[in-house]
Structure 1
Amino acid sequence: MSVVFLLILGGLAGWLAATLVRGHGLGVWGNIGVGIVGAVLGATLLGQMGVRLMGPFGQLVTALIGAVVLLWLARLFGKR
């Protein structure tokens, strides 16, 4: 996967996740960061369940799942 594709995928996944969880995005770099970390988290979680999604759409879904989980955990353990 090229770096440019990774940044675009991370940005899109992060923006979608932030919009779903928070109601708005996190800015360009925040979206990319959440999307990339979410992709790693999503691949790990789905891999543990024996699920592997293929292709660009599968990678986006995997990153989105991970990013949503990441933001949900941040909200759960964040400001109190």
Structure 2
Amino acid sequence: MFWFLLIGLVSGWLAGMISRGGGFGLWGDLATGVVGSFIGAYVFNLIGLSAYGTIGSIISSTVGALILLWVIRMFNVAPAAAKKK
């Protein structure tokens, strides 16, 4: 359980750094990484890839978190003025 949360935290932080240049805070990174790990495992299974070990889990979770952030941003319809703040 501890490793799962630690990998979720690291992958959420990585996804935040890649997608917008900064993390989302401790709880935001953790939530993004944990949900991303499920999405990443599903997507990797669909395309026939397997992630082994800690590094493979971090890569899979990060890919899933990036997909999650992309989907969230697709449905974000905030006005342009609100995005600059």
Amino-acid identity (%): 35
| TM-score, structure 2 normalization | 0.87
Specify the code of the residue in structure 1 equivalent to 2:4: L
Q: CA deviation at 1:39?
A: 0.4
Gaps of 5+ in 1: none
Rounded Cα–Cα distance in structure 1 between residues aligned with 2:77 and 2:29: 20
* Residue correspondence of structure 1 range 50-65 to structure 2 within 5 A: 50-65=48-63
Rounded Cα–Cα distance in structure 1 between residues aligned with 2:77 and 2:57: 31
Specify the code of the residue in structure 1 equivalent to 2:61: A
Rounded Cα–Cα distance in structure 2 between residues aligned with 1:9 and 1:34: 11
Instruction: Tell me what 2:75 maps to.
Output: 77
Gaps of 5+ in 2: 79-85
Number of residue pairs matched by the alignment? 78
Instruction: Tell me what 2:28 maps to.
Output: 30
| TM-score, structure 1 normalization | 0.92
Rounded Cα–Cα distance in structure 1 between residues aligned with 2:77 and 2:55: 33
Rounded Cα–Cα distance in structure 2 between residues aligned with 1:55 and 1:11: 16
Rounded Cα–Cα distance in structure 1 between residues aligned with 2:76 and 2:16: 15
Specify the code of the residue in structure 1 equivalent to 2:7: L
2:10 to 4, 9, 12: 12
Instruction: Tell me what 1:43 maps to.
Output: 41
